[in-house]
């Protein structure tokens, strides 16, 4: 038997009900905040991710699904920010009045070791906001994430924030961090050893227990805890915190939060759950003011986030299947199918028997799957009437078909 590939899975009934709910809530909330949906291709030029996500990230180094076609290198998208930025530039969205506010959802692909909360094909929902450098944009996207989670009934998640400063702030910080790490460098994992020169900040994000342990030393923690960001970056960060407090969004500052991607500056954040084991991050995001320019566009500040929908779903209770409105009980299949079509046109859910089963069997089915049985017996058909039986209470009434369909 041919089976799903490792790290991929089918989303089937009843789990699909939760996914439809997540997607409906996302559409409703992002539309109400005037974000437009965007759908970018599943595959893009490999170079987009190499440049847009960063050559020193795990994603680009180890996790991409890359293949050649017609001498082009193609990659299945491992995330959607790079694709959205490409589209922003390619479609001249910088000419639109700011802010340009976009949201997306869909599958992403990363070649990772599959485990709970970590798949090779997984799904993200995310938002990106272009054109606003002010802290209110950071706070607007964070509060949208919180509002979306609340709409799904998730109220007790923790928001962690940090500021990575600008590139000048980071140069100083990287130097200090390297000096503190150097004495224990040979105890860190091979990945961190190569990160040390290429992108030392990423060492702070390592999940290998030995690395976590080494980083907890007072010498290194002192550097991590130091106030290295410049005055302007600091003003921005303070304003973000002030606005979050004003909006009653509880947060913790986690000075070790750096995020896995290269493109962030200033604000970074994660939303975590205590109910997810070690893959506990549901949402990650931040400001990426340099990315549009780096990918060849007219410079535009930007901020956004992405949420893992599998991890989100594992926090949600399983939705129950809803009953349909009407099951049509009739010996006359043509009349039954016509009635079903009329009801469906009126926005009702309706089904009928396809197999010519006996009345009694049809009633049984109605009792299982429908709120009402709509009976079209010989008399009803002759008189242009319908009998409607409430399957919960047993109450039954007769109506003129025309009046019934008018509502």
- Which residues bind to ligand ATP, rule: CB under 6 A? 79, 110, 112, 117-119, 122, 124, 260, 279, 281-284, 306-308, 310-311
Query: Which residue is nearest to ligand ATP, using beta carbons?
Result: 308
Name the minimum Å distance from CB 49 to ligand ATP. Answer: 12
SS3 content of the chain, % helix, strand, coil (to 5): 45, 25, 35
Name the minimum Å distance from CB 295 to ligand ATP. Answer: 18
CB neighbour class for 156 (10 Å; exposed up to 12, middle 13-18, buried from 19)? exposed
Whole-number Å distance between alpha carbons of 377 and 384: 11
Token pair, residue 377, equals 């017996």
99 or 308: CB nearest ligand ATP: 308
49 or 228: CB nearest ligand ATP: 49
Whole-number Å distance between alpha carbons of 167 and 296: 19
Name the minimum Å distance from CB 61 to ligand ATP. Answer: 12
77 or 170: CB nearest ligand ATP: 77
66 or 279: CB nearest ligand ATP: 279
Q: At what angle do helices 231-246 and 135-151 cross, to 10 degrees?
A: 30
Name the minimum Å distance from CB 365 to ligand ATP. Answer: 39
Strand order in the sheet with 72-76: 43-45, 72-76, 66-69
80 or 330: CB nearest ligand ATP: 80
18 or 330: CB nearest ligand ATP: 18
Name the minimum Å distance from CB 318 to ligand ATP. Answer: 19
229 or 282: CB nearest ligand ATP: 282
Instruction: Report in angstroms the alpha-carbon separations of 206 from 24, 212, 243, 270, 354.
Output: 35, 7, 30, 15, 58
Token pair, residue 376, equals 């079209």
What letter does residue 205 receive in the DSSP assignment?
G
Name the minimum Å distance from CB 377 to ligand ATP. Answer: 54
Measure CA of the first residue to CA of the last residue in the chain; give whole Å: 50
Whole-number Å distance between alpha carbons of 38 and 101: 10
141 or 343: CB nearest ligand ATP: 141
DSSP states of 235-295 as a string?
A: HHHHHHHHHHHHTT--EEE-TT---S-TT-EEEEEEEE-TTSTT--EEEEEEE-TTHHHHT
265 or 362: CB nearest ligand ATP: 265
What sections of 58-157 are H helices per DSSP? 58, 81-90, 135-151
Name the minimum Å distance from CB 344 to ligand ATP. Answer: 37
Name the minimum Å distance from CB 186 to ligand ATP. Answer: 25
Name the minimum Å distance from CB 146 to ligand ATP. Answer: 15
HSE-up of residue 117 (Cα within 13 Å, Cβ side): 17
Q: At what angle do helices 135-151 and 15-32 cross, to 10 degrees?
A: 140
114 or 377: CB nearest ligand ATP: 114
Q: CA triplet 18, 24, 30: central angle to 5 degrees?
A: 130
Name the minimum Å distance from CB 79 to ligand ATP. Answer: 5
């Amino acid at each position: 038997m041919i089976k799903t590939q490792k790290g991929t899975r089918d989303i089937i009934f009843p789990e699909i009900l939760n996914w439809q709910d997540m997607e409906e809530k996302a559409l409703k909330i992002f539309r109400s905040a005037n974000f437009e949906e965007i759908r970018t291709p599943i595959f893009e030029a490999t170079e987009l991710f190499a440049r847009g996500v960063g050559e020193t990230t795990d994603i680009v180094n180890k996790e991409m699904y890359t293949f050649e076609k017609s001498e082009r290198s193609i990659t299945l998208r491992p995330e959607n920010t790079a694709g959205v930025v490409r589209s922003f530039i390619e479609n001249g969205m910088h000419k639109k009045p700011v802010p340009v506010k976009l949201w997306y959802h869909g599958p992403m692909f990363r070649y990772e070791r599959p485990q709970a909360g970590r798949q090779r094909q997984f799904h993200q929902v995310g938002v990106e906001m272009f054109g606003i450098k002010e802290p209110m944009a950071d706070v607007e996207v964070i509060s949208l994430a919180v509002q979306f989670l609340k709409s799904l009934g998730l109220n007790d998640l923790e928001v962690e924030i940090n500021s990575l400063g600008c590139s000048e702030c980071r140069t100083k910080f990287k130097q200090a961090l390297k000096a503190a790490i150097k004495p224990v460098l040979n105890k860190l994992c091979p990945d961190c050893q190569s990160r040390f020169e290429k992108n030392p900040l990423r060492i702070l994000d390592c999940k290998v227990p030995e690395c976590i342990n080494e980083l907890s030393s007072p010498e290194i923690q002192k550097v991590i805890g130091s106030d290295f960001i410049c005055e302007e970056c600091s003003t921005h960060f303070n304003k973000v915190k002030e606005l979050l407090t004003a909006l009653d969004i509880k947060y913790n500052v986690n000075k070790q939060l750096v995020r896995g991607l290269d493109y962030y500056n200033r604000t970074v954040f994660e939303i975590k759950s205590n109910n997810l084991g070690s893959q506990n991050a549901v949402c990650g995001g931040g400001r990426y003011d340099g990315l549009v320019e780096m990918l060849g566009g007219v410079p535009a500040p930007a901020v956004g986030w992405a949420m893992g929908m599998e991890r989100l779903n594992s926090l949600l209770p399983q939705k129950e299947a809803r009953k349909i409105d009407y099951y049509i009980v009739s010996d006359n299949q043509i009349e039954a199918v016509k009635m079903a079509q009329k009801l469906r046109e009126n926005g009702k859910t309706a089904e009928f028997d396809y197999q010519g089963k006996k009345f009694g069997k049809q009633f049984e089915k109605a009792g299982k799957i429908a709120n009402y049985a709509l009976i079209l017996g010989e008399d009803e058909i002759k008189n242009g009437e319908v009998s409607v039986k409430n399957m919960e209470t047993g109450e039954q009434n007769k109506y003129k078909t025309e009046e019934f369909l008018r509502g």
